[in-house]
Amino acid sequence: MAVWALGINHNTAPLDLRGRFAFALDQIAPTLHQLRDSFGLRLGGRPEAAILSTCNRTEIYCAGRQHEIDTTIEWLAHSGGVPADLLRSHSYLLQDAGVARHAFRVASGLDSMVLGEAQILGQLKDAVRVANQAGALGTTLNQLFQRSFAVAKEVRTSTEIGAHSISMSAAAVRLAGQLFEDLGKVKVLFVGAGEMIELAATHFAARSPRGIVVANRTLERGEKLASRFGGEVMRLADLPTRLHEFDVVVSSTASQLPIIGLGAVERALKARKHRPMFMVDLAVPRDIEPEVKALEDVYLYTVDDLAHVVQTGHASRQAAVAQAEAIIDAGVQSFVHWLDQRHSVPLIQQLNQQTDEWRAAELARARKLLAKGEDIDTVLEALSRGLTQKMLHGAMAELRAGDAESRQRASAAVEHFFLRKER
């Protein structure tokens, strides 16, 4: 089996380009079906596939009879509405051992914007679960991801790679604290009710703001999140008329288009008499129109803008990184060895089938002799002699071959398989 991966992340592609290839979790299953169908019948079957999509990356993992990177690039480029050459220039293309190393580094938090962050492991597990439920996983990718989870666990328990890591949410609180002297006097609006918003709300709630409000398309889910922090809930449709009430706005939804426009923010600033607003857009694609950043009284940060803040403590963790990379190296070698062994599986199956046929034939012969009343020792002797002859027939024929080179190869094989001492 060949294994390959195609990806873009915060290091290779700008935010707006990444936004074109962002897939919500509930979109992954149908997207996987489309991806696998795009390979057609020329491979003799659809490849295994999984898609990991977060605010910082979109990655496609595949396994099939041969590497089909060009087909994967063309499909992803078409799905995002960009030329294949443009996507290729902003992506990374990996094969076999390179795929394993990358997957293990991603799972361990070594490839994240926040070095050592743990959230990516949960996101990867979600991606694998959805791919499995969609019937897109097979033995090869399942092995790859299960091994990545095991490596990530060892990295977490054996190193301090996650020590002092600063999450996006913690970074947002830190920046808000630099703008507002007392966060206890600010009113915070959270747009969305997913995992990112839940993390952000947890960090802001710890600073006891004057008020917390959650705006979400589904009121029930918004109410559930708001109740955890003693906050209120509001309809997403009311956002334009109530935006001026909030000093801090944190947004992270799965919308494919911005839900907070330039005009709405301008009206809010006017109503606030130009008191400053701190806005954080954690969504990919963007929730807040990028033009908002140019407004004088708005401090807008995207996931990429937070990159410099979350790198605090990076240098102090480099020793742990080296230790983690050693664990990953061992994991990669183990996976490659397993992958190489997979090439022998058909031959092993044929060998087992052949020996089973020999065994069945000799057993049938032995039972007939016993039924005729033959002595049991004589029957056992014949059974063992028959099996031995069948097993050695091919080797003996090669040793008697007329070709000297063939005899030499056969002699070496016989010595290796039959005459070596136990290791």
Burial of 132 from C-beta contacts in 10 A (0-12 / 13-18 / 19+)? middle
Please identify which residue in the block is written with the tokens 């995992």: 195
- How far is CA 103 from its chain centroid? 7
Whole-angstrom distance, CA of residue 366 vs CA of residue 370: 6
- Give the residue ranges of DSSP H helices in 261-317: 262-271, 307-310
Told to judge if 55 belongs to the known catalytic residues of this protein, a careful annotator would answer yes
Which residues have a Cβ under 8 Å from the Cβ of 333 and sit 6 or more positions away? none
By the 8 A CB rule, do 200 and 172 touch? yes
Query: Does residue 285 have a cis peptide bond before it, meaning omega lies within 30 degrees of 0?
Result: yes
Please identify which residue in the block is written with the tokens 């906050």: 231
Nearest to 218 by CA among 253, 251, 247, 258: 253
Whole-angstrom distance, CA of residue 99 vs CA of residue 56: 18
Whole-angstrom distance, CA of residue 384 vs CA of residue 105: 53
The tokens for 244 are 């001026």
Whole-angstrom distance, CA of residue 185 vs CA of residue 177: 11
Which residues have a Cβ under 8 Å from the Cβ of 421 and sit 6 or more positions away? none
Distances (CA, A) of 415 to 86, 125, 404: 57, 48, 16
The tokens for 284 are 């990919």
SS3 183: helix
Whole-angstrom distance, CA of residue 318 vs CA of residue 321: 5
Q: What is the largest CA-CA distance in the chain?
A: 109
Which residues have a Cβ under 8 Å from the Cβ of 170 and sit 6 or more positions away? 203
Choosing from 50, 55, 99, 328, the catalytic residue is 55
Q: Which amino acid appears at position 1 of this protein?
A: M
Query: Which strand (E) or helix (H) includes residue 204?
Result: helix 195-205
Q: Which residues are catalytic?
A: 55
